[in-house]
Amino acid sequence: MRQITGFSNPLVKRVRSLRDKKHRRREGLFLAEGLRILTEARDMGVLPEMLFLAPEGAAHPLARTLIAATEAAGGDVIETSADILSKLSGKDNPQTLIGVYRDRLTPLAALDRTAAPIWIVAQALRDPGNLGTILRTGDAVGAGGLILVDDCVDPFSVEAVRASMGALFTQTISITRWDDFLAWLRAGPGTLAALSLRTDTDYQAAHYPAPTFILVGNEAQGLPAAYEEACDIRVKMPMRGKADSLNAAVATAVMAYEVLNQQRRA
Amino acid sequence: MRQITGFSNPLVKRVRSLRDKKHRRREGLFLAEGLRILTEARDMGVLPEMLFLAPEGAAHPLARTLIAATEAAGGDVIETSADILSKLSGKDNPQTLIGVYRDRLTPLAALDRTAAPIWIVAQALRDPGNLGTILRTGDAVGAGGLILVDDCVDPFSVEAVRASMGALFTQTISITRWDDFLAWLRAGPGTLAALSLRTDTDYQAAHYPAPTFILVGNEAQGLPAAYEEACDIRVKMPMRGKADSLNAAVATAVMAYEVLNQQRRA
């Protein structure tokens, strides 16, 4: 463990810059904040390259375990002040622990589609909470990973990391373009399924062979019509209300559990 | 339509105070921000008692419809400056429309439990986004309403209103204590069902007669053991991952769709 006390320390500036997507992508690093999420990551075998903590952050037994594991793995453990943690996190009341992790993007061509019966594909998803929640759902249903097409929110934003509750550290993540995704998909086995307002087929009436790729669209616009038309399966969920809409992460989860339920019955 | 231009106008101060739960409860009023959510409310037949807008906010055809409907219903339409809207919303870039609505709490004793086959009960829910998302799901599955027990986040917070995407204006909402809820529940028909880590019963193996009350617990702690024990049905969902957890609003939705799917097959 070493100490950094100066605001102008180059490492402080560098880590602070990871709040910005451009810098995250260039460095291949991202931030996760708080004992809970860092412990979740450790439980999944992922340790930070750098671990920043305030003196009071080291007191918790789980924090001590995390510090020891990070140092044992060759990570850099840095004790600093609450003020510098505030600067790193951009919050007045920062978490007492901030981890810097190597990002974990996988090229589409490196995905083994037969390794899992369910995959999730998100298009132009904008809300980091939704993205993190979808990762968490993907982990729960045993999905192989999350494929992001078009301009989705960054999966390595602090908010997405937090909402994923550790699933970011277990789910494979690919970022690609729609045309590239479709070409890759059609070069092997895989059923592309989407919820749609332009169908009368109930989501429980369709059959979802493994691997099924669940395609979810932008929160406000949904999927472009051409993307829906490229799907093998277009289904709708029963809607009994007046507002007649579901949160994107909720709709993805209800669909993913239907696919899982069919596959576990088979 | 009238104009308010002064920051010290008593109405500006009063409406600004509605960002605070204590004032919301005392006044029986709450805020909703943005053309989309205000239009959703209008589509459900709910109009604001007061409607604040910046001059540029009146330009959109949907805004003009909203203004006309609000005035026709006797509401107060107030044109003001972007700066005052900032003050009302507490944001640097406020929405150009802010509505003030009468809150819509229903006493437990006034609920007609037989009016819907599904009800959702949340205990100590803390995240306003989750609460709003659960309201939206409740609307989608045709739930009768949302019953909040113990200290839940305020359903009339701006964040919850936004996440509900209009469902706040259609779903009945009751706030009560656990003991009172349980006494009320047991005084009539109703099956209380919860997801639990302390059971081996799969959520698809149980039968959910109408009305089924789905009980969802706090995001971090889940339900107290005593609350689980009071349930008629305790079930688990398949978990195939490493993180092995679901967002509270997602778990509620997957459960609610299972109940709906069983009921629509019956």
Q: Which of B120, B119, B256 is nearest to A237 (CA)?
A: B256
User: How much of chain B, in percent, has pLDDT values that exceed 70?
Assistant: 100
Question: In the prediction, which pLDDT does B119 show?
Answer: 98
What whole-number distance in Å separates Cα of residue A216 and Cα of residue A195? 7
Q: Which of B48, B75, B175 is nearest to B124 (CA)?
A: B175
Element (H, E) at B37: helix B35-43
Q: What is residue B67's DSSP assignment?
A: H
Question: In the prediction, which pLDDT does A104 show?
Answer: 84
CB contact under 8 A, B257 and A254: yes
List the single residue in A137, A139, A239 with the smallest CB-CB distance to B242.
A139
- Note the residue count of chain A: 266
pLDDT along chain A (266 residues), means of 10: 88 93 95 92 94 88 95 96 88 86 94 97 98 97 97 95 92 97 98 95 98 97 96 97 90 98 94
Question: In the prediction, which pLDDT does B243 show?
Answer: 77
Question: In which domain, by residue range, is B55 found?
Answer: 2-102
B166-224 pLDDT tens trace: 899 999 999 999 999 999 999 999 999 999 989 999 999 999 999 999 999 999 999 99
Count of structural domains within chain A: 2
- Other residues' Cβ atoms within 10 Å of the Cβ of residue A102: 12
- Whether residues A233 and A260 share a domain: the answer is yes
Which residue among A71, A102, A133 closes a domain? A102
Chain A interface, Cβ < 8 Å to B? 40, 43-44, 129, 133, 136-142, 163-167, 170, 204, 237-247, 249-250, 253-254, 257, 260-261, 264
Chain B interface, Cβ < 8 Å to A? 40, 43-44, 129, 133, 136-142, 163-167, 170, 204, 237-247, 249-250, 253-254, 257, 260-261, 264
B114-167 pLDDT tens trace: 999 999 999 999 999 999 999 999 999 999 999 999 999 999 999 999 999 989
Q: Do A157 and A128 touch, CB atoms closer than 8 A?
A: yes
Place of tokens 């399924």: A193
Question: In the prediction, which pLDDT does A20 show?
Answer: 93
Whether cis (ω within 30° of 0) applies to the bond prior to A224 is no
Element (H, E) at B2: strand B2-3
- The ipTM estimated for the assembled molecules is 0.93
CB contact under 8 A, A247 and B138: no
Measured between CA atoms, the residue of chain B closest to residue A256 is: B254
Distance to chain A for B173, nearest Cα, Å: 15
- Other residues' Cβ atoms within 10 Å of the Cβ of residue B210: 17
What whole-number distance in Å separates Cα of residue B8 and Cα of residue B84? 10
- Whether residues A53 and A118 share a domain: the answer is no
A-B Cβ pairs (cutoff 8 Å, strict): 123
Question: In the prediction, which pLDDT does B91 show?
Answer: 80
CB contact under 8 A, A253 and B246: yes
- Whether residues B141 and B259 share a domain: the answer is yes
Inter-CA distances, B196 with A61, B141, B215, B255, B260, Å: 28, 22, 10, 12, 19
List the single residue in A141, A238, A250 with the smallest CB-CB distance to B137.
A250
- Whether residues B156 and B248 share a domain: the answer is yes
What whole-number distance in Å separates Cα of residue A121 and Cα of residue A256? 11
Pairing of strands B172-176, B145-149: parallel
At residue A98's C-alpha, the angle toward residues A4 and A29, to 5°, is: 95
- Whether residues A114 and A241 share a domain: the answer is yes
- Whether residues B254 and B127 share a domain: the answer is yes
Chain A residues with CB inside 8 Å of B140's CB? Answer: 237, 239-241, 243-246
- Whether residues A87 and A148 share a domain: the answer is no
